[in-house]
């Protein structure tokens, strides 16, 4: 159980740091770009989506590690199963599962068993917070565009 908690804390911390740095870089780069304000919003959104995609892959690596530790003889932290009951150990399966979980689409055709369930819940929570953080960031960027163009007047 301690290994599961450690993996979860490391992954969640890494994702928060990546997201913070991505939004910080976007905040400092956007004013420097010599492009139209509308295009700056597109750049900001693209940067945020890239950050989310990287964060999802970080969690996918965590799932992949957790479900494959048993093969290495280190620990049994759980498995991912499909609807037929087959055990899923591949990275693409973990990545797909991570995308659906991070975005809070929910459990559907893949479900966790064992300690990996803890990472599932944590990823959904972290994903929700990161997505709302991005929404707030995008609102502030759009507000800059609106103020410059007199939309708020």
pLDDT score at 142: 83
pLDDT tens string, the chain, 153 residues long: the values are: 899 999 999 999 999 999 999 999 999 998 888 888 788 889 999 999 999 999 999 999 999 999 998 887 788 889 999 988 888 889 999 999 999 999 988 767 899 999 999 999 999 999 999 999 999 999 988 887 777 666 554
Q: Return the CATH architecture of domain 2-147.
A: Orthogonal Bundle (1.10)
> Quick one: which of 109, 100, 116 has its CA closest to 68?
116
What is residue 36's DSSP assignment? -
Parse the chain into domains and list their residue ranges: 2-147
- CA-nearest of 8, 7, 14, 9 to 74 is 7
The per-residue pLDDT for 39 is 87
On whether the pTM is more than 0.85, the answer is yes
pLDDT for 12: 97
Q: Give phi and psi for 76, each to the nearest 5.
A: -105, 100
At residue 80, φ and ψ (nearest 5 deg) are: -110, 135
């Amino acid at each position: 159980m301690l290994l599961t908690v450690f993996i979860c804390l490391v992954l969640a911390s890494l994702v928060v740091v990546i997201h913070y740095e991505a939004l910080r870089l976007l905040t400092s780069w956007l004013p420097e770009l010599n492009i139209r304000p509308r295009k700056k919003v597109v750049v900001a959104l693209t940067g945020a989506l890239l950050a989310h995609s990287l964060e999802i892959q970080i969690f996918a690596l965590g799932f992949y590690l957790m479900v494959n530790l048993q093969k290495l003889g280190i620990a049994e932290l759980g498995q991912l199963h499909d609807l037929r009951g087959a055990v899923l150990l591949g990275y693409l399966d973990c990545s797909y599962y991570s995308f659906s979980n991070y975005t809070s689409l929910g459990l559907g055709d893949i479900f966790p068993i064992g300690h990996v369930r803890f990472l599932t819940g944590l990823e959904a929570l972290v994903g929700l917070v990161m997505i709302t953080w991005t929404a707030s960031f995008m609102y502030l960027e759009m507000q800059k565009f609106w103020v410059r163009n007199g939309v708020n007047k």
